[in-house]
Amino acid sequence: WFSIKAGKKYNSIALIAGGKHLQSDTYSTIGLVIGLLLLYYTGIEWIDSALALIFGSIIILSGISILKKTVAGLLDKADDKTLNDMAESINKHRQPDWIDIHNTKIIKYGSYLYIDCDLTLPFYYNLTEGHQACENLKKTLTTNFSPQIQISIHSDPCRMAHCKHCEIADCHFRKSPFSELEKITLSNMTQNDEEKNEN
């Protein structure tokens, strides 16, 4: 239990696998003792086989679950839970000039996360303002999402299509009135530039 807890805390599949292995040994021992006691007191021989099947199935399912997570990590499969947690953190602490976030990629390396994303900002921002907005997003993610991240942000200029979702009230270049804020979701956060332009 302690090994699994530490593994989840530090995102270590090795600690989790070690803990699951120890748990499966414990389950096997419990099953064996229960089976022997029931066999001794009842004389029903098939009870031992039934318990062996039950506890064996638990061990197999546990092993398959760990194997799936390990293979997903090796193949850089998208971690939907991590991306959803990140989107939730951004929405909670969102600033008005973060018009859109897309093209997001996350790579796990041990307990560290390497994040790459595109941030849409007002097209009239100068280099200093654009840099500050990116730094604000970095600070928000490290403070409220995970301190163990390295993040690279590419800034994109807004287009007319963004006006209806932009919260900046004093924009002198607005082409259409504000309608509603576009929530950052797993779906739109992972769209690439081509997909965003199609929508």
- Residue 1, exposed/middle/buried by CB under 10 A (0-12, 13-18, 19+)? exposed
Tens digit of each residue's pLDDT (9 = 90 or more) over 150-180: 899 999 999 998 899 898 888 889 988 888 8
DSSP annotation of 169 reads T
Nearest to 18 by CA among 32, 33, 8: 8
The predicted model scores a pTM of 0.63
Domains of the chain, by residue range, sit at: 2-74, 80-198
Determine the average pLDDT of the residues in 124-138.
Answer: 95
Nearest to 125 by CA among 89, 161, 98: 98
Strand order across the 100-109 sheet: 100-109, 112-121, 149-157
Cβ pair 151, 115 in contact under 8 A:
yes
Q: What is the structure's pLDDT at 107?
A: 82
> What is the fold of 80-198?
Alpha-Beta Plaits (3.30.70)
From residue 64, give the alpha-carbon distance in Å to each of 4, 26, 61, 68, 148.
16, 18, 5, 6, 28
Q: What percent of the chain has pLDDT over 90?
A: 26
181 pLDDT band, cuts 50/70/90, is confident
Q: What is the structure's pLDDT at 11?
A: 67
Tens digit of each residue's pLDDT (9 = 90 or more) over 22-52: 887 887 788 788 888 888 888 887 877 787 7
Cβ pair 134, 119 in contact under 8 A:
yes
Nearest to 149 by CA among 62, 102, 90, 75: 90
